[in-house]
């Protein structure tokens, strides 16, 4: 298919090659290996002299279709499908770092990413410096002669803080650094970090890309010249995504645009509702004018995303009572689902951080992260209001 200028069309019309049956929907290639017509062909495929499939840990038509669609939406050349979002983040770092290297990281990151940065990478002699996500001087001053990479997630989990992608892209260029962005919260529909100078873009496809809480999956996307260093690591460590999960995620990309429109519309309405409530202490949403980085959000995102973070008056006890009193809304640590969900980051997703580490990134004991689903907005707000009232 000729590439369209519209990502929604590319997500729907990009397909793996049809089989002899000429099926409209590409089938699931549930096979561990592939056969060869001759010994010469097998040798040539393994030597990468000709294109061909050999083993699903290396490549599979379903994985290729998923990555081709996602790459088109991000505006990059290619990528690697991984078994989870955390596998994508781990590989994007370890494929390019070695003992003695240093990385600069936003301190506003997902809890499991924090564990990789602080507990795993130091085992191999890779050091790090945490910086404030929105403090450009902090980023600048943290760069050392041994620095090799900048890493950020924007908007951040769960505080919904943003970094200036254009500034960090320039910082990386001036210092010959690799710039890696976790784009999970925004998705390629709302934000394309490569436009601002990012070299690698990571996704937890488990979230909005799947959209229905069915499978785990991840992706690393970027230029062929950089992805070629990720491929051997992914293949040899077995971090491959299964064909079944790739098939689901590829089909999910066909509806990402219309789902994200609804997620974002609901999230904005929820944020506006919460901001008007006298029972709510703080509300964070990138497209609320009260967000401290509202102008930056408008610059690098097309919509505000599907996440809202807020805190009720009354602290941790009020937060617990609120969570225990929701009826329709799901209480789960996942996000990006068709069903609205809430979680308490301090005791779940970010519980491995110390209280001091959480405080530095504004994760209070009363903070609630809400992922806006696709239900009718009136039903979501009614459930929120009831839980607020009952939690007093």
Q: What is the CATH number of the domain that holds 99?
A: 3.40.640.10
| 1, pLDDT greater than 70 | no
Q: Which CATH number characterizes residue 345's domain? A: 3.90.1150.10
The structural domain count of the chain equals 2
| 383, pLDDT greater than 70 | yes
Looking at the fold, whether 111 and 100 belong to one and the same domain comes out as: yes
Q: For the chain, what is the mean pLDDT?
A: 94
Domain assignment present for residue 263? The answer is: yes
Domain assignment present for residue 286? The answer is: yes
| 12, pLDDT greater than 90 | no
Looking at the fold, whether 64 and 167 belong to one and the same domain comes out as: yes
Bond prior to 155 in cis (omega within 30° of 0) = yes
Write out pLDDT tens, residues 102-155: 999 999 898 899 999 999 999 999 999 999 999 999 999 999 999 999 999 999
Question: What burial letters (b/e) apply to 296-333, b meaning 16+ CB within 10 Å?
Answer: bbeebbbbbbbbbbbbbebeeebbbbbbeebeebeeee
Looking at the fold, whether 386 and 260 belong to one and the same domain comes out as: yes
Write out pLDDT tens, residues 190-246: 999 999 999 999 999 999 999 999 999 999 999 999 999 999 999 999 999 999 999
Looking at the fold, whether 245 and 286 belong to one and the same domain comes out as: no
Looking at the fold, whether 27 and 43 belong to one and the same domain comes out as: yes
Looking at the fold, whether 143 and 108 belong to one and the same domain comes out as: yes
* Domain limits for position 140: 7-253
Looking at the fold, whether 317 and 367 belong to one and the same domain comes out as: yes
Domain assignment present for residue 2? The answer is: no
Q: Give the domain-ending residue among 230, 253, 276.
A: 253
4-13, 166-175, 232-241, 365-374: which has the minimum mean pLDDT?
A: 4-13
pLDDT score at 364: 83
Q: Give the domain-ending residue among 201, 218, 253.
A: 253
């Amino acid at each position: 298919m000729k590439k369209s200028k519209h990502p929604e069309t590319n997500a729907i019309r990009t397909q793996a090659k049809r089989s002899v049956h000429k099926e409209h929907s590409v089938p699931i290639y549930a096979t561990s290996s592939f056969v060869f017509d001759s010994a010469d062909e097998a040798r040539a495929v393994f030597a990468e002299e000709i294109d061909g499939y050999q083993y699903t840990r290396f490549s599979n038509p379903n994985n290729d279709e998923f990555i081709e669609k996602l790459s088109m939406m991000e505006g990059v050349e290619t990528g690697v499908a991984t078994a989870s979002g955390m596998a994508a983040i781990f590989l994007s770092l370890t494929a390019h770092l070695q003992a003695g290297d240093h990385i600069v990281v936003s301190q506003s990151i997902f809890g499991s990413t924090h564990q990789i940065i602080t507990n795993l990478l130091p085992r191999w002699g890779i050091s790090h410096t945490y910086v404030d996500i929105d403090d450009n001087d902090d980023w600048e001053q943290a760069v050392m002669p041994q620095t090799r990479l900048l890493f950020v997630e924007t908007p951040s989990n769960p505080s919904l803080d943003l970094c200036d992608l254009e500034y960090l892209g320039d910082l990386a260029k001036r210092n010959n650094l690799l710039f890696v962005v976790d784009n999970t919260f925004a998705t390629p529909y709302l934000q394309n970090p490569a436009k601002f100078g990012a070299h690698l873009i990571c996704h937890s496809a488990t979230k909005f890309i799947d959209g229905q809480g069915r499978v785990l999956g991840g992706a690393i996307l970027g230029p062929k010249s950089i992805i070629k260093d990720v491929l051997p690591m992914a293949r040899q460590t077995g971090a491959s995504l299964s064909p079944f999960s790739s098939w689901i995620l590829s089909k999910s990309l066909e509806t990402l645009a219309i789902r994200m429109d609804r997620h974002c519309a609901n999230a904005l309405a929820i944020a506006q509702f919460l901001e008007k409530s006298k029972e709510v202490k703080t509300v964070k949403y990138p497209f609320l004018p009260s967000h401290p980085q509202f102008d930056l959000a408008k610059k690098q995102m097309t919509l505000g995303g599907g996440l809202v973070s807020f805190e009720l008056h009354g602290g941790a006890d009020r937060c617990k009572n609120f969570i225990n009193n929701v009826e329709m809304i799901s209480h789960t640590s996942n996000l990006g689902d068709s069903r609205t969900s809430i979680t308490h980051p301090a005791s779940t997703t970010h519980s491995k951080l110390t209280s001091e580490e959480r405080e530095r990134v504004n994760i209070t004991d009363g903070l609630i992260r809400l992922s806006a689903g696709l239900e009718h907005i009136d039903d979501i707000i009614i459930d929120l209001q009831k839980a607020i009232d009952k939690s007093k």
